[in-house]
């Protein structure tokens, strides 16, 4: 190797080292929020007696692990249905098509999505429109007279 070839390689190699010194923290910092554990906490959404059997109502929750500057964006909602004396179903509000918030129409007994026309029955199964699968459900349990749900990620419909 000639001196000139060596110096060329040195410059290119050092550029690579500099790019790594700058790039690794950049990429790490930018993707870090993905690996922050934020969901899977049980939270109470009120007393069992607050809910009427056969009714589906929206319940607002606040993410218990939100960042301090999240403000109102730490809030989210779910559709809670009291099936009978002991059983509850907690539906994600996100349409399984593209995530828009579905609305419950009490008299019609249907969920309807405002974006692309998805419709679901009261048990969350698809009634019409493009949604590929039923409404996703939260884990829900009752304890000490309270209804509790386990917080979860916005459900993402994936292809593979």
Partner 1 sequence: MKRLIIGSWRWLDDRLGISALIGPSLKHLVPHDARWWYVFGSATLVAFIVQVVTGVALAFSYASSSSQAYETLQFITNEAPFGRFLRGMHYFGASAMVLMVGAHMAQTFLFGSYKYPREMNWTTGVLLLAFTIVMGFTGQLLRWDQTAAWSVVVAAEQAGRVPFIGDFLAQFILGGTTIGGATLSRFFAIHVFIMPALIFLFIGIHLMLVLRHGIAEPPVAGMVVEPATYRAEYEERMHKTGRPFYPEGAWRDFVFGTGVLVVIALLSYFVGPPKLDAPPDPSVLNADPRPDWYLLWAFALLALIPPEVEGYVMILTPVIIGIVLLAAPILNNRGERAPSRRPWSIAVVLLSVILIGSLWIAGANSPWSPNFDPQPLPEKIVGATSGPVFTGAKLFRDKGCLNCHLIHGYGGRRGPDLTYIGDQLAESDIVIRIVNGGVNMPAFGNSLKPDELAQITAFLQSRKRPIRPQDQPPMAQN
Q: Which residue's CB is nearer to partner 1, number 1 or number 26?
A: 26
Q: Which residue's CB is nearer to partner 1, number 1 or number 160?
A: 160
- Smallest distance from partner 1 to CB 102, Å: 8
Tell whether residue 134 is a contact of partner 1 (CB under 8 A).
Answer: no
* CA separation, residue 44 to residues 58, 63, 93, 155 (Å): 14, 12, 18, 21
CA distance 37 to 25: 20
Site string for partner 1, 40-79 (x = CB under 8 A): ------------------x-xx-x--xxxxxxxxxxxx--
DSSP string, 105-159: ETTTTEEE-TTT--EEETTS-EEESS-SSPPPEE-EEEETTEEEEE--PPP----
Given the rule CB under 8 A, which residues bind partner 1?
Answer: 30-31, 33-34, 36, 38-39, 58, 60-61, 63, 66-77, 93-94, 97-103, 105, 107-110, 112, 114-117, 119, 121-122, 127-132, 152-154, 156-160
């Amino acid at each position: 190797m000639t001196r000139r070839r060596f110096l060329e390689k040195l410059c290119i190699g050092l550029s690579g080292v500099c790019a790594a010194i700058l790039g690794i923290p950049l990429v790490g910092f930018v993707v870090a929020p993905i690996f922050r554990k934020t969901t899977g906490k049980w939270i109470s959404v009120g007393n069992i007696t607050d809910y009427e059997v056969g009714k589906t109502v929206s319940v607002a929750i606040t993410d218990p692990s939100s960042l301090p500057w999240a403000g109102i964006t730490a809030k989210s909602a779910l559709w809670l249905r009291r099936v009978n004396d002991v059983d509850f179903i907690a539906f994600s509000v996100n349409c399984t098509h593209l995530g828009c918030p579905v609305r419950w129409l009490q008299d019609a007994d249907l969920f309807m999505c405002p974006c692309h026309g998805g419709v679901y029955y009261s048990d969350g199964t698809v009634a019409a429109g493009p949604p590929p699968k039923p409404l996703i459900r939260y884990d829900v349990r009752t304890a000490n007279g309270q209804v509790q749900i386990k917080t979860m990620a916005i459900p993402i419909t994936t292809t593979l």
